[in-house]
Chain A
Amino acid sequence: MTGADAAGRDPEETGQGSASSGPVTSEPPVEPIAAPDPLLPNRVARQSSWVRTVGWLACFGVVVSLPLWVGGAVAELLVDIGVLVALASAWGWLAGFAGRPLLATATFAGTGTVAWAALVDGLAVNPVVALAGAAAAAALVGLVVGAVAARLDAAWGAAATLALAVATSDLARLLGDGVEPVDGAVALNATLRRGLATWLAVVVGAGTVAAVVAVRRSRVGLGLVAARDDADAAASLGVRPLLPTTVFVAAAAAAAGLAGAVSHLQRGAVEPTQAFDTLTWTWPAVVAALVGGLRTTAGPVVGAVVVVLAERLLDGRPALFLLLSGLAVLVVLVAAPLGIAGTLDARLGDARRERLTRRWSPRRRSEMRRE
C-alpha cells in the first residue's frame, strides 16, 4: 500500500498526490467516477420479482378458473394440455437442469393409472381420493428407478429407463390382453367427471410447473445443477446429488402418475396396453419439453400447446405425427437448441436488459438528477 488509498487507487490518478510529488497542474480536477448504487441491482430485481409474482398469480388464477367458463371441446383440449404440461415439466426439469434424461415416463404414468383404476374399481375408493394413491404408487416406483438411475451416467440412465419402459409395456400387453377396459369412474356423472378431470388436469399441470420453479430456485435444486455442470467441483463444495436425484425422480414420477390417472379419469376407462405405451406418454413429453424450450419455465407449457394442437391436426395419422415430431426434435437440437420459449426469452431478455441498463446507467441517472 505504498501511496495507494484504501480503495486501491493510485494517488496520481485521483489528483491527491503529495506536494513533493511534483508541481500542481492547472487542469481542473477530474470528477471521480461515481460508485455504482449498491441498491440498484436489488431494486431492479425486487421490482422484477414483484411483477413476475403478480403475473404468475394472475395466470394461475385464470388457468385454474378456466374449466368454469369453457365448453366441452375446449375442456378436452385443456385436459390434454394440462396432462402434457405436467409430464413435460417434470421430464424437462430432470433432463435440462438435473442432467437426467430418463425415459420411463410411460412406466410412471401407467403405474399411476393402474393403481388409480385398482383403487376405484377394486376398493371402491372415491376417484378423486384415489388420485393420491396413484401418485403414491408412481412415486414408489420412481424411488426405485431413481435410486438406480442416480448411480448411472446420463446416457446409461436413459438406456436403462427406456428398457424398463419397454419391459413394463410388454408386461402390460401380456397381462392386459383380453382384459376388458376398466371403467374407472363410471359411477360419476359424465358431465361432472369431465369437468372434474379438466380442473384436475389444469391444477396438476400448473402445480407441476410451480413445483419445478420452486425446486429450481431451492438450494438443493441449484446443487443438482452444479453437479450436472461439474460433478467434482460440486462434490468439493459438499453437494451430494444421489439422494436429491432419487427424491426428485420420485416426485417427477408422482406427477406423471397423477397426469396419467387424470387423463384416464376424463376417458372413464383404462386400457393397460395404452396406459404404458412409450410413444403415447414419454415421447410427447420429450417433444413438448424440447420444442418448447428446456431450462425455461414457460417452455413445457408452450411445447405442450404446440404438441397437442399438432396431434389434433394430425388426428388419425399417428405415423405422420411420429415422423414429423422426430424431425422437429432433430431440427430443434441442431438449429434452435433453446426451443421456442428459450429463443424468445433470449431475444426479449436481451432487449429488456439493454433497456434497463440504459435507464439505470450512471450517466442517465446524473442527467435525471440535473433535470
Chain B
Amino acid sequence: MRWADAAIAGLLNGAPLALLAVAVGIAARWAGSVLLPVGVVGITAALLADALRPVTELGAVANGVGAALAAFLVGVLVQLGLVSRRAVLGDVARPPIAWLAVTVAAIGLVSLLAGDGPVPDRVEVGRTFVPFGGPTIVGSHLVATIVALVVLLVLGLAAHSQRTLPMRVASDDPAALARIGRDPRLLLAAVMGVSAACAALGGVLTAEVVPVERSAGLGLAVVALEAAAIGSVGSFPGALLGGLVLGLTRALGAELGDGWGEVAGHAVTIAIVAATHRRALRRVGSPTRGSVVLTGFRR
C-alpha cells in the first residue's frame, strides 16, 4: 500500500509538473528563451507556499492565483528591464544569466525571510479519501491536480486561438509585427509574463503535493526542464506526459530512500532524451533560433 500511495501522489503531482513544463515551452517556443521559470518558481513555491499556509484544500488555489499574478508582473518587468536591453553578453547569452541572477537573489531572499530547510508538510490540514478501500488520496493533492488540469486545458485552447497568434510569432518575425502596428517588445514581455505565471502556479501546486526545499529554485527549474524534455518543449499533451512520467518516477524513487527520487528523475530524463534525440544532437545549428533540442522535439 505504501508504494501504491506513492504512485498515486506521483501521478497527482504530474499535472502541476506539466504546468512547469508548459511554462518552459511557452518561453522557449513563443519567446525563444529558456530558464524563465527559475527565479519565479524559487520565489513562489518556497516563499508563498510557506508564508500563506493553506488551511483548506482551496487555500492552495488562492496561493497559486496570488503567486501567478505576482509572477506575471515579475516576468514582464524582468523581460522589459533586463533581457531586452543590449549588453556586453549579447543577445544569446544574456537571458539565462539574467534569470539565473534573479533566481539566486530569490533564493537568498527566501532563505533570509524563512530560513533553510523544507517547507512544512501540510498533509495533515487537508482531508483524505480512500476510494474503494484503495490507496489514500489527499484532498489538497486532488484539488491541485484538478486546478492544474483546468489551467492546462485553458492554455491549450488559447494556444490554438487566433487572438494569441501575435504573441506566438513575436520572436519569429518581430519586424512583421512592427509593420502591422504591434510592439514586439511588449508582446514578448506578455509571453514571458504568461510563462512566469504558469511557473508560479505550477510551483505552488507542486509544493502542495511533494515536499519542496525553500532554497529549491534551481532544483525546481531543472525539474521543469526535465518534464519539458521528456514530453516535448511547447506541446501541451507532451508536457502532461512528461509531468506524469517524472512525477511517478520521482515519487517511486523517493520510496527507496532520501535523495533517490531526484536521482531517479534525472536518470529517467537522461535515458529518454538520449534515446529519442540522438539524431538531433548530431546536427549543428537549427532553422529556428538555433535550438537543436527544439528541432529534435518537432520530429
User: Measuring CB to CB, which residues of chain A are less than 8 angstroms from any residue of chain B?
Assistant: 95-96, 99-101, 103, 148, 150-156, 158-160, 162-163, 166-167, 170-171, 173-174, 177, 228, 231, 242, 278-279, 283, 286, 290, 294-295, 318-327, 329-330, 333-334, 337-339, 342
Q: Given A153-B292, A174-B260, A322-B105: A101 and B97 within 8 A (CB)?
A: yes
> Binding site of A, secondary structure by majority: helix, strand, loop or mixed?
helix
Residue from the list A152, A231, A338 in contact with B88, Cβ < 8 A:
A338
Closest A residue to B293 using CB positions: A156
Residue from the list B82, B218, B266 in contact with A162, Cβ < 8 A:
B218
State whether B108 touches A159 (Cβ < 8 A): no
Q: Is B298 an interface residue (CB 8 A)?
A: no
Residue from the list A167, A242, A321 in contact with B108, Cβ < 8 A:
A321
When distances are taken between beta carbons in the complex, the residues of chain B under 8 Å from A283 are 100, 104
Q: Which one of A170, A231, A290, A324 has the highest number of Cβ atoms from chain B below 10 Å of its Cβ?
A: A170
Q: Given A322-B111, A334-B82, A342-B88: A151 and B35 within 8 A (CB)?
A: no
Scan B92-131; emit 1 where CB is below 8 A from any A CB, else 0.
1111111011111111110110001000000000000000
A272 to chain B, nearest CB (A): 12
State whether A323 touches B109 (Cβ < 8 A): yes
When distances are taken between beta carbons in the complex, the residues of chain B under 8 Å from A278 are 218
Interface 9-residue window, one of B6-14, B150-158, B279-287: B279-287
Q: Given A170-B262, A320-B108, A322-B104: A99 and B218 within 8 A (CB)?
A: no
State whether B102 touches A326 (Cβ < 8 A): yes
State whether A155 touches B92 (Cβ < 8 A): yes
State whether A327 touches B93 (Cβ < 8 A): no
State whether B88 touches A151 (Cβ < 8 A): no
Q: Given A159-B34, A294-B88, A327-B105: A152 and B292 within 8 A (CB)?
A: yes
State whether B109 touches A153 (Cβ < 8 A): no
Q: Is B90 an interface residue (CB 8 A)?
A: yes
State whether A159 touches B87 (Cβ < 8 A): no
State whether B96 touches A101 (Cβ < 8 A): yes
State whether B108 touches A324 (Cβ < 8 A): yes
CA distance A158 to B101 in the complex (A): 13
B47 to chain A, nearest CB (A): 12
CA distance A242 to B34 in the complex (A): 22
B259 to chain A, nearest CB (A): 4
Closest B residue to A328 using CB positions: B101
When distances are taken between beta carbons in the complex, the residues of chain B under 8 Å from A330 are 82, 98, 101-102, 105
> Binding site of B, secondary structure by majority: helix, strand, loop or mixed?
helix
Residues of chain B in range 246-299 having any CB-CB distance to chain A below 8 Å? 258-260, 262-263, 266, 269-270, 281-286, 289-294
Closest A residue to B286 using CB positions: A153
Q: Given A155-B92, A333-B94: A323 and B105 within 8 A (CB)?
A: yes
Residues of chain B in range 50-97 having any CB-CB distance to chain A below 8 Å? 81-82, 85, 87-90, 92-97
**Selected A-B contacts with CB under 8 Å, 22 pairs:** A96-B89, A103-B100, A154-B92, A155-B34, A156-B291, A158-B100, A159-B225, A163-B226, A167-B270, A174-B259, A319-B108, A322-B111, A323-B108, A324-B108, A325-B108, A327-B105, A329-B104, A330-B82, A333-B82, A333-B89, A337-B88, A339-B88
Q: Given A163-B226, A334-B85: A153 and B290 within 8 A (CB)?
A: yes
Q: Name the 6 nearest CB pairs between A and B, nearest first.
A: A326-B105, A323-B108, A322-B108, A319-B111, A153-B290, A337-B87
State whether A319 touches B112 (Cβ < 8 A): yes
CA distance A222 to B80 in the complex (A): 32
B contact residues, total (Cβ < 8 Å): 57
B72 to chain A, nearest CB (A): 19
Closest A residue to B114 using CB positions: A319
When distances are taken between beta carbons in the complex, the residues of chain B under 8 Å from A334 are 81-82, 85, 87
Closest B residue to A235 using CB positions: B285
State whether B292 touches A170 (Cβ < 8 A): no
When distances are taken between beta carbons in the complex, the residues of chain B under 8 Å from A95 are 89, 93, 97
When distances are taken between beta carbons in the complex, the residues of chain B under 8 Å from A153 are 92, 286, 289-292
Residues of chain B in range 197-231 having any CB-CB distance to chain A below 8 Å? 218-219, 221-222, 225-226
CA distance A323 to B104 in the complex (A): 7
B110 to chain A, nearest CB (A): 8
Q: Is B232 an interface residue (CB 8 A)?
A: no
Q: Is B33 an interface residue (CB 8 A)?
A: yes
CA distance A318 to B101 in the complex (A): 15
State whether B101 touches A155 (Cβ < 8 A): no
CA distance A170 to B100 in the complex (A): 19
CA distance A329 to B34 in the complex (A): 19
State whether B263 touches A170 (Cβ < 8 A): yes
Q: Given A319-B111, A334-B82, A338-B88: A152 and B293 within 8 A (CB)?
A: yes
CA distance A221 to B268 in the complex (A): 37
Residues of chain B in range 132-148 having any CB-CB distance to chain A below 8 Å? none
A107 to chain B, nearest CB (A): 12
State whether B107 touches A322 (Cβ < 8 A): yes
CA distance A160 to B82 in the complex (A): 22
State whether A101 touches B218 (Cβ < 8 A): no
When distances are taken between beta carbons in the complex, the residues of chain A under 8 Å from B282 are 151
CA distance A242 to B292 in the complex (A): 14
